[in-house]
Amino acid sequence: MSHPFQAFLWVVYPYFMLGSFIFGTIIRFAFFHPSITAKSSEFLEKKHLIIGSILFHVGIIGVFFGHIAGIFIPKAWTDALGITNEMYHIFALSAGGVFGLMATVGVYMLCIRRFHDHRVFHASSTGDLLVILGLTAEITLGMLSSFLISPQVPDFNYRTTIAPWARGLFMFHPDYHLMMGIPFLYKCHVFFGLLIFGAFPYTRLVHAMTVPLHYIKRRFIVYRRRPNL
């Protein structure tokens, strides 16, 4: 690929997606707050929803924070603490494998449920279908990159390529050359991950920003049996 295209792919496109995420979220909360909801289909099918949803949410939270740690903790810091590259990767693959497997099983259960159960499918919007397909593709790409491609390319280290590039985005000095030599599936994983971030404010995913902390202090609701007349 030409260098101008690479520059667009790893400099312009990421800022466009991140800008869409930030400003889209602000606009959604400021002007369309009543539309922020996770429309439930529990009354249509409950068993697979509960299992898949718990696995997906617990898994994706672990995977998300694992990505944050992998990106924002430089290799030099762990080296200074005496943590070798092998030790780091063993821990990352072990923890990431557990949470990644949970997220994978959960998202596949939710995806199959969304498309296979005719009642759930017909009650779903186009956005619902695209979101679950996007999440399924992104998680699949991540698992394939980590556990299939990474062992085949032992010289590749995302901590010296993808992580510095990602940190450079937040420092407004990204080096797109770092992304040019990484395996193709990793590029796809990053590309679709940014696409999900860009689409985040305009889908049901935005409900993840509305943590119901007020429930902690909410008074209990007391139900009383209606007396027989």
The one-letter amino acid code at 151 reads: P
CB 201 within 8 A of CB 24: yes
Lowest model confidence (mean pLDDT) among 39-48, 83-92, 106-115:
39-48
pLDDT reading at 207 higher than 70: yes
In this predicted structure, the answer to whether residue 122 has a pLDDT above a threshold of 60 is: yes
pLDDT bin (cut points 50, 70, 90) of residue 223 is low
67 appears as a binding residue in the annotation: yes
Averaged confidence pLDDT in the chain: 86
72 CB-side CA count, 13 A: 8
Report the percentage of the chain scoring pLDDT > 90: 51
Q: What is the DSSP string of 141-194?
A: HHHHIIIIIHHH-TT--GGGTHHHHHHHHHTT---THHHHTS-HHHHHHHHHHH
57 annotated ligand-binding residue: yes
Cβ neighbours around 179 below 10 Å, total: 22
pLDDT at 76: 87
Burial readout 8-23 (b: 16 or more C-beta within 10 A, e: otherwise)? ebbbeebeebeebbee
Fold of 3-217: Fumarate Reductase Cytochrome B subunit (1.20.950)
151: left (phi over 0), alpha (psi -120 to 50) or beta: alpha
> Which of residues 87 and 15 earns the better pLDDT score?
15
Listed range (23-37, 146-160, 167-181) with the worst mean pLDDT: 23-37
pLDDT band at 80 (very low <50, low <70, confident <90, very high): confident
- The pLDDT-based confidence of 155 (bands split at 50, 70, 90) is confident
pTM of the model: 0.84
**What number is the average pLDDT over the span 24-42?**
75
Alpha-carbon distances, residue 123 vs 49, 191, 224 (angstroms): 14, 30, 34
How confident is the model over 44-76, as pLDDT tens digits? 667 788 899 999 999 999 999 999 999 998 888
What pLDDT score was predicted for residue 174? 92
User: Tokens for 15?
Assistant: 């800022």
